[in-house]
Amino acid sequence: MRLLHTSDWHIGRQFHNVSLLEDQSFILDQIVSIAADQKIDVLLLAGDVYDRSVPPSSAVSLLDDVFDRICRHLKVPAIIISGNHDGAERLAFGSRQMSESGLYIISSLPLAQSPIILDDQHGPVAFHAIPYVDPVTVRHRYRVETATHDEAIAFLIDQLGDQIAAYHRNVALGHLFLAGGDPTESERPLSLGGLDKVSPDHFRGFNYSALGHLHGPQQKGEENIRYSGSILKYSFSEQKQKKAVTIVEIDKEGKCNIEQIPLKPQKDLRVLEGTLDEILRQGVTDADKDDYLLVRLTDTHAILDIMQKLREVYPNVLHLERPGLMGRGDEYKTRRELLQKGELNMFKDFFQQVSGEELSSDQLTVIEKALEEIHHKEES
Ligand SMILES: [Mn+2]
């Protein structure tokens, strides 16, 4: 049986106030093509379908369209669990009806009494779908003492024991933070103080575990306990990551052959570092001018209208950092002190750029005096 494992679609996400819906639509087209080309038997989506519990209507339409193509046109069943970003109840709408046509949405406890069974020529494969739940929900629902995410997941998997034993091939879906996993800056913490970490050991009883939550593709504990990663880079901390979907072939014995198929975004997300001149110059021949950019300028003097200048070359600069302006290695100084020290120089730069001339010594004296007066007033 061939599985396509994906997660963390976050449909409807905004990034620095830019809607990523078009980028998401572009990448989901690729996933539909991969599903067809790879002749998969089931698609697994391990949570964070939407970015918000109440997604915008355009996000709902996009998801509707994607699963129409996967389930109805390609006739590939899909199993979806909710993640911590999803509104479990809203996602569950119509799920009992849709399960009859191959779209399985598991978004709340209690877990289905029996797993989802799909057959291939070697017999059944059991899919145990564990939606994102916090320990408090598990505690109330089952009246057990679960204080941490680890205890909650251990309990839920323990509950599945008989079902797992009844099948020769078992696959888990989960949305959680495995201990030792590598986070990025775009996951929302499940709880504070490290109580969100779950031991990979709980998943050793499954032939494959399709996980979501961490946005970088990775395995933990064993090769078959893995995160597919998100479909797009959702923070600049992910700039070096290679986003992908995971294709898993489970053989007759339940052994997995795992392959990653890269996703190519319409616009990549990159960090550019250098002086304004260097960046503007490289922009002239840059084939990917439309990428989403964080620009880190190393210039040490003040410059007017930087964003405008950059966007003439790179239209999608989303964020600007100016490490050069504040001096390096000055962690011990407050930003304010640095500003005070640097403000005369900044004014000199400003004046030069506006008038095209340097400050005369008379003018300089006036400015120095004015600054002194301002600080004197602030101190008294
Ligand atoms: Mn996520």
The structural domains of the chain, with segments of one domain joined by +, span 2-262, 267-325, 332-380
**For each of the chain's 380 residues, which pLDDT tens digit applies?**
999 999 999 999 999 999 999 999 999 999 999 999 999 999 999 999 999 999 999 999 999 999 999 999 999 999 999 999 999 999 999 999 999 999 999 998 866 568 999 999 999 999 999 999 999 999 999 999 999 999 999 999 999 989 999 999 999 999 999 998 899 988 888 877 667 999 999 999 999 999 999 999 999 989 999 999 999 999 999 999 999 999 999 999 999 999 999 999 999 999 999 999 999 999 999 999 999 999 999 988 888 899 999 999 999 999 999 887 765 454 445 556 666 667 888 788 788 777 778 888 888 888 888 888 888 887 76
The residues near 28 (Cβ < 8 Å, ≥ 6 apart) are 9, 62, 66, 231
pLDDT at 241: 95
CA distance 177 to 192: 12
Q: Identical fold at 2-262 and 267-325?
A: no
CB of 263 closer than 8 Å to CB of 231: yes
CA distance 93 to 95: 5
Distance 132 CA to ligand 1 centre (A): 11
Assess if CATH 3.30.160 describes domain 267-325: yes
Strand 18-19 to 14-15 pairing: antiparallel
Token representation of residue 355: 């008038």
Token representation of residue 53: 């519990």
Architecture of the domain made up of 2-262: 4-Layer Sandwich (3.60)
Distance 5 CA to ligand 1 centre (A): 14
First and final CA of the chain: distance in angstroms? 77
CB of 261 closer than 8 Å to CB of 245: yes
Distance 50 CA to ligand 1 centre (A): 9
Distance 49 CA to ligand 1 centre (A): 8
Q: What does the DSSP assignment read for 225-247?
A: EEE---SS--SGGGTT---EEEE
Tell me the pTM. Answer: 0.86
Distance 151 CA to ligand 1 centre (A): 21
CA distance 37 to 247: 11
pLDDT at 332: 45
pLDDT at 380: 66
The residues near 263 (Cβ < 8 Å, ≥ 6 apart) are 27, 30, 31, 231, 232, 243, 244, 245
pLDDT at 333: 52
CA distance 216 to 254: 26
Burial of 331 (0-12, 13-18, 19+ CB in 10 A): exposed
Task: Give residue for tokens 């918000």.
Answer: 52
pLDDT at 205: 94
Q: What is the phi/psi pair of residue 361, to 5°? A: -65, -30
**The amino acid at 359:** L
Distance 213 CA to ligand 1 centre (A): 4
Distance 323 CA to ligand 1 centre (A): 30
Strand stretches in the chain, DSSP E: 2-6, 14-15, 18-19, 42-46, 78-81, 103-106, 116-120, 123-130, 170-175, 177-178, 197-198, 208-212, 218-220, 222-227, 244-250, 256-262, 269-274, 292-297, 317-321
pLDDT at 354: 76
Distance 123 CA to ligand 1 centre (A): 33
Distance 236 CA to ligand 1 centre (A): 15
Distance 266 CA to ligand 1 centre (A): 20
Q: What is the phi/psi pair of residue 250, to 5°? A: -100, 125
Distance 116 CA to ligand 1 centre (A): 24
Among residues 224, 217, 181, the alpha carbon closest in space to that of 199 is found at 181
